[in-house]
Structure 1
Amino acid sequence: MDKPTVVITGGSSGIGKALAKEFASKGANVIIGARKKEILEKTQRELSAMYTAGNTVHSYELDVSNEKSIAGFIQNCVKDNRTIDILINCAGIAVCKEIENTLSEEYKDTAAINYLGTVLTVRHALPYIKKNAHSRIVNISSMAGIMGVYGYSAYTPSKYAVVGFSEVLRAELIPYKIGVSLVLPADTDTPQLVNENRTKPVITKKISGTIKPMTVEKAAQAIIRGIEHGRFLIIPGFESKLVYTLSRFFPGLMYAYSKFIIKRHIKKHTE
């Protein structure tokens, strides 16, 4: 594909920003969308400095919890006869607290951004994506989207939903020769992880502490390799692939491990 146009939601920080930089370095045209204007503009400046003649970078404010904002963003993406060759849905939030400590609004916001934000972005972009055979939609879920982890009662269901949506989307787009990729990253060193760790229960930290957070650069490189190879399932990192395999083929083992961590923690703090 000659100088594809890559549209990335949540492209101003974290994995989205790292993906934008990787695609920029490969000569692609990049369009990013995010909520925070100042961070968005800063990222655009960084991307613009990487470009050579003939390439473009654009950024537009985007709130994926608001359908009107999504519709406006997509219209901005396709103006001046631009195409959408690759759509990457990175926008998301993470809330990690026990159920009793998670607010009703946090459940609603997590579902609205992580799941509905992905669905509605795809729906508004699809008429334009269909114009280009062999284009691709990439949805970012999480390792927490395939297993229930203590403390993620808001986050995990929203990412499970992205998995199911991506599987349906993959089937429905077969007639149009449009590819779909589902990304399952584990903990990645992002601003979102920093915020998440502020409220993360000790038990959750013990369970997730078995895997060292991956850098956003390595995660982005793994995702792009998966896209280039046309893979549906993209799991960055060897340790994440191992956890995926164990959770898929030995689900009881993963539950037993979590149960062991939880019981040991309870015993330690009740003795």
Structure 2
Amino acid sequence: MNKNNKRSTWKYGQPKTAFISGGGSGLGLNIAKELIQEGANIAIFDHGRSDDLVQYLNQLIVHNDQRIERYIVDIADPKALDKAMNSAVSEVGVPDFALNSAGILRTATFSKLSYETFEQVINVNLIGSRNFAFSVLQHMQSGGHLILVASLAGIVGSYTHAAYAASKFGVVGLAEVLRLELKLKGISVSVICPGEIDTPLLKQERIDGSPITEMMNDFAGVLSVEDAINGIMKGLKTRQYMITPGFRAKLTRAIARKFTTLFHLIADSKLAKAYSKFQSK
């Protein structure tokens, strides 16, 4: 657990039962670890790449009656997700914290991005967010907290991110509507919009992706996993609506949302420099 998070408290009480999609890796796994060490019961919904995930997470529990279960399910399959969540409610408990972290990234310039790839990204990132929210809200009660993971790419467009940005802009739009509708039911909504985080996924994108994308995204900076999780957890503990860890990423978000013309000038300038440098690629 991050030392900074140990000193912070949950404004509305710490979660008792958390449902987390994509909890087998990345942000989902790291937030699951934080919550386990806070004493929460955890239900993870993912594709199941690691057979020893539950065994590993059980080593982090702080009291003997904590429950950690895993459900292998496709987030894009609403019926299967409903079934898995019904089982989780029976076996782990009614969720008062629910985080949709499942997502994929596929990059290419739009003219080279196949329909099938575009559809896959939309189905996992946007339709999956819809499915997760719809399923969990059949069980969540007043006082609960629903969190959707979007991206800084859900605020600003980036080179080669047509499918990813379209899906994440959609997630932000969904969160905006849910924030209003669920307020009437006493349920809080947050949307996490981080910039780039130094993970194996980012390292692989650096290998496979466009150097133009890397140069343009440099404006928002890259956070370590520890710094990203620390910033996200602070936002979650106060139920902040839009959570973007890191000063440079926050600045990027602010400029893009409040000074769009200025942001376009900055982006166009970086694009011109990157294209000049890497046009042969």
Output the TM-score relative to the length of structure 2. 0.89
CA distance in 2, matches of 1:163, 1:189: 23
Is 1:186 equivalent to 2:195 in the alignment? yes
How far apart, CA to CA, are the structure 1 residues paired with 2:238 and 2:37? 18
| CA–CA separation in structure 2 for the residues paired with 1:270 and 1:67 | 43
Q: Which amino acid aligns with 1:99?
A: F
CA contact (8 A) 2:23 2:44 kept: yes
Matched, 1:113 2:124: yes
Provide the residue aligned with 2:181 in structure 1. 172
Alpha-carbon displacement from aligned partner over 1:193-214 (angstroms, at most 9, x marks no partner): 2343343212111111234422
> Are 1:43 and 2:53 matched, yes or no?
yes
The structural deviation recorded for 1:2 is 6.2
Shift of 1:270: 6.8
After TM superposition, give the deviation of residue 186 of structure 1 in Å: 0.5
The CA RMSD over aligned residues, in Å, is 1.9
Deviation readout 1:197-246 (Å, 9 max, x if unpaired): 34321211111123442233332232222122121111111111111111
- The 8 Å contact of residues 133 and 178 in structure 1, kept in 2 or not, is answered as yes
Map 1:71-90 to 2 at 5 A: 71-80=82-91, 82-90=93-101
Answer whether contact 2:100 2:149 (CA < 8 A) is retained.
Answer: yes
Percent identity over the alignment is 27
Check conservation: 1:99, 1:153, Cα contact below 8 A: yes
Deviations 1:7-45 (A, max 9, x none): 11000000111001111111111111111x242x33322
Take 1:260 and 1:2, find their aligned partners in 2: how far apart are those partners? Answer: 45
**TM-score (normalizing by structure 1):** 0.92
Distance of 1:218 and 1:137 partners within structure 2: 22
Mark the runs of 5 or more structure 2 residues left unpaired by the alignment: 1-12
Which of residues 144, 148, 151 is equivalent to 2:160? 151
| Structure 2 CA distance for partners of 1:167 and 1:2, relative to 1, 3 Å | closer
Question: In the alignment, which residue of structure 1 is the partner of 2:3?
Answer: none
Give 3-state SS (helix, strand or coil) of 1:210's partner: helix
Aligned partners of 1:195, 1:103: CA distance in 2, in Å?
20
Conservation of the 8 A alpha-carbon contact between 1:17 and 1:43:
no
Matched, 1:163 2:175: no
- The structure-2 alpha-carbon separation of the partners of 1:196 and 1:62, relative to structure 1 and needing over 3 Å to count, comes to farther
User: 2:24 aligned with 1:12, yes or no?
Assistant: yes
Contact 1:88–1:137 under 8 Å retained in 2: yes
Which of 20, 23, 29 is the aligned partner of 2:41?
A: 29
Are the aligned partners of 1:11 and 1:32 in contact in 2 as well (CA < 8 Å)?
Answer: yes
Q: Which residue of 1 aligns with 2:246?
A: 237
Contact map agreement 1:141 1:184 (CA 8 A) in 2? yes
Instruction: Answer yes or no: is 1:56 the counterpart of 2:67.
Output: yes
Contact 1:134–1:179, Cα closer than 8 Å, also in 2: yes
Amino acid paired to 1:46:
Y
Conserved? CA contact 1:9–1:90, under 8 Å = yes
Per-residue deviation, 1:118:
0.5
Distance of 1:270 and 1:191 partners within structure 2: 26
CA contact (8 A) 1:31 1:77 kept: yes
